[in-house]
Structure formats: C-alpha cells, structure tokens
Amino acid sequence: MNNFIQRTLSGFLFVVIIVGSIIWTPYSFAVVFTLITGGSVYEFHRLTNKQHDVQAMTVMSVIGAVILFVISFLFATGTIIYPGYSIYGLYIVLMLVIELYRRKPNPLHNWAYFLLGQVIIALPFSLLNFILYIESYNPLILIAVFVTIWVNDTGAYLVGMTFGKHRLFERISPKKSWEGFIGGAVAALGSGYLFSLFIPEINLIQWLIFSEIVVIFGTFGDLLESLLKRTVNVKDSGDVIPGHGGLLDRFDSMLLAAPAVFIFLSFIFNDALMNF
C-alpha cells in the first residue's frame, strides 16, 4: 500500500510539473524541459556506459543536449535565427575531435554512442519546442501529445491486464500484448475526439490521426527504451521519480512520438516544416 501511495503521489506531482510548466509560461517550459533533456541524456549514457567497451563522454553529451534544446527554443520563439544551429554543429565536431585525445580503447564506440544520445534523446526533446510553437504559441497542442501518451498507456495497461493473451513483442517486452495495444489505441481515439472539441485549429479527422500516430510511434519508443534496458540488464533507467523509475522510463514514448507528431503537424500548418 505504501508503494502504491508513493507511486500515485509522485505520478500526480509529475503530471502537475509537466502540464504546469507548459501552461504557465514559455520560459517555465524551457527551464523544466531543459533539465529533463539533460537528465534523460545522462540516464542514457549511464546505461550505455555499463557496456565494457563503451566510455562515451556523459557530461559533454549532456551539455550538447542542453545546447540543442536551448537553441531550438530560441529558434522556435524567433529570438535568434543566426548562427543558431551552427553553434551546436561546431560543438558536436569539437566533441568528436576531443575523442582523438582521450586514449580510450574503443573510440569508435564512444563516438557512436555520443551521437546516438544526441539523435534519439536530445533531438526529440528539442522538437517539443516546435510543437509548442507549431504556428504560434499554443500549449494545448503539446499538452495533447502528453495526454494522448498517458491515455494510451492507461488504456493499454487496463485492457492488457484484463484480456491480454497475444504478446506484442515478447523478445523485448514480455508483458505487452496486442489486446493492450488495441485498447490503448481505442482510448487514444477518445482523447482525440475530446481534443477536437477544445482545440478547433485541428479538425476531428486530423485529431484521430494525430492520436494514432502518437500510439504507434509512442509504442515503438517504449520498445526502444525496453531494448536498451534489456541490453544492459537493468529494470529502470533511474530512480528520480519514486515508484516510476527514471526520466527515460517516463518519456520513452515521446522519443519517437515527438518527431512523428512534429512532421504530421507541419503538414497541417503548412509552412512549419519549411521554417524548421
């Protein structure tokens, strides 16, 4: 019971912080998600560096992720245009050069995991800025991404626990079932319908497609993180959220959902993709 209460309270606080930071001001979003981005990249390298032949530069990768997120925020808000991403690009090149002088036994592995952390962790988080400012500042659309993920997770869990018999991807995540996946997808359609009532900038059909994009790519993101944890034989990516594990455990679905949603919304709002 104590674990259930702890899990419930920490989960509630997590939702309040995420939703509150997005709604309050753009700067509260920037501060909170900069910290989340850095923390997630740190967890990623803490996991990958458990492999005996990997010694990627964790701190430098965290700094790179923070630079990318901050530049993306400033770019999305129109605060800066140039030099923008050139700074981040130069930083990445510098990190690759530094690896030449580290004298580690497997520099190629270190390079690969350093870049992987930037691509599959830092980049998706940075795209949240452009979802928030997909046309103009609209926190409800970004909140819809997270709510859809949470609704899908809840629906998948409840249906999977009750009716789950056919494994979705047993090799990576033995508890996931096709029944749970379908249950989550149906629940997400319900949330998409509700979003269409309160966010008219996107019509009903687009919201339903939006919801299923989040479900499909969110599930793959979840499986991606499960594969990472299974590879290094750990249960959770961290313990920063009591009863829920680490940041990556909470944001794994977003890793692939965010890029997919950004591309989808870019076509809806015409010139967003060109501006990026």
Give the other-Cβ count within 10 Å of 94's Cβ.
Answer: 12
HSE-CB for 96 with a 13 A CA cutoff: 12
Query: Quick one: average pLDDT of 208-225?
Result: 95
Check pLDDT > 80 for residue 219: yes
42-46, 58-62, 171-175, 232-236: which has the minimum mean pLDDT?
232-236
The rounded distance, in Å, linking the Cα atoms of 35 and 59 is 13
3-12, 59-68, 250-259: which has the minimum mean pLDDT?
3-12
Please state the pTM of the whole predicted model: 0.90
Query: Quick one: average pLDDT of 4-29?
Result: 86
Which backbone phi and psi does 126 adopt, to 5 degrees?
-65, -30
H helix and E strand count, the chain: 12, 2
Q: What is the pLDDT of residue 3?
A: 64
Q: Which residue has the tokens 């090149």?
A: 93
CA distances from 221 to 9, 79, 182, 249 (A): 25, 31, 17, 10
CA distances from 1 to 12, 152, 240 (A): 16, 25, 20
Q: Tokens at residue 84, please?
A: 């923008």
Q: What is the pLDDT of residue 276?
A: 47
Per-residue pLDDT tens digits for 58-106: 999 999 999 999 999 999 988 877 677 888 999 999 988 998 888 888 8
Per-residue pLDDT tens digits for 126-157: 999 999 998 888 899 999 999 999 999 999 88
Higher pLDDT, 206 or 3: 206
Q: What is the pLDDT of residue 121?
A: 96
Domain extent at residue 225 = 2-275
Handedness of CA 169, 171, 173, 177 (dihedral sign): positive
pLDDT band at 201 (very low <50, low <70, confident <90, very high): confident
Give the other-Cβ count within 10 Å of 119's Cβ.
Answer: 10
Number of domains in the chain: 1
Express as a percent the part of the chain with pLDDT over 70: 92
DSSP code of residue 79: S
Q: What is the pLDDT of residue 1?
A: 47
